[in-house]
Amino acid sequence: MAFELRPLPYARDALAPHMSKETLDYHYGKHHKSYVDKLNGLIKDTDFKNENLETIITAAKDTRGAAALFNNAAQVWNHDFFWRSMDPDGGGEPGGAMANRIAAGFGDFEKFRKVFVEAATGQFGSGWAWLVQEKDGKLAVVATPNAVPPFVNGLKPLLTCDVWEHAYYIDYRNDRGAFVHEFVDHLANWAFATERLEAR
């Protein structure tokens, strides 16, 4: 069963001015679609053709010669997660359970914001910044290189910001920091992150 490019949860112009329609046209319509197409080519006529993304990613992670399979499957998964990590009415300080957990994990929202921005801007080369829940229930911020999703390291992703250059170059040129600030302040989908939060 071939994978399909999942529909965005909003119109391509809905995140403007923080993320332009042109960025979505290229990032979602070309980059993300390319990962889906390449993945389908890689799993065709293999034992993975009927597996889900998580199974493929986990199996390919430590398999010699499976780097392309891992990278494309993980990038499909990561991008699906990234689009849901944003909302046209998102950003700013969350309330409720997420606010309490952020305060417990980081001290307050401003300290979390600083840690998240530093992780995203400090990721050398391409990668992702994530808000995750650790096995003990505590929240943490991690950066992962290239296509690596945190669940392969036993961490539950709650929210992510893509810091590959194609995520921001059209709108922010080489200013990754400006993009990450806009993500936290105006796009972060706290409702989505809160839905994934496990009670402790």
pLDDT of residue 1: 73
Res 96 pLDDT > 60: yes
pTM above 0.75? yes
Establish if 62 belongs to a structural domain: yes
pLDDT of residue 20: 98
142 three-state secondary structure = strand
Mean pLDDT (the chain, rounded)? 97
* Residues 100 and 167 grouped into a single domain: yes
Q: How confident is the model at residue 200 (pLDDT cuts 50, 70, 90)?
A: low
Across 169-175, average pLDDT: 98
Tokens of 40: 């389908």
Establish if 126 belongs to a structural domain: yes
Among 60, 59, 82, 79, CA closest to 71: 60
Establish if 145 belongs to a structural domain: yes
* Residues 42 and 121 grouped into a single domain: no
Give the total number of structural domains in the chain: 2
Establish if 90 belongs to a structural domain: no
Cα separation of 153 and 165, whole Å?
24
Establish if 102 belongs to a structural domain: yes
pLDDT of residue 98: 97
* Residues 103 and 180 grouped into a single domain: yes
Residues 143 and 120: beta-carbon distance below 8 Å:
yes
Domain of 74 in residue numbering reads as: 21-84
Which segment of 62-66, 140-144, 181-185 scores lowest on mean pLDDT?
62-66
pLDDT of residue 198: 82
* Residues 104 and 65 grouped into a single domain: no
Establish if 15 belongs to a structural domain: no
Cα separation of 105 and 94, whole Å?
14
Establish if 73 belongs to a structural domain: yes
Res 102 pLDDT > 90: yes
Choose between 200 and 102: higher pLDDT: 102
Among 139, 133, 129, CA closest to 151: 133
* Residues 70 and 121 grouped into a single domain: no
Establish if 1 belongs to a structural domain: no
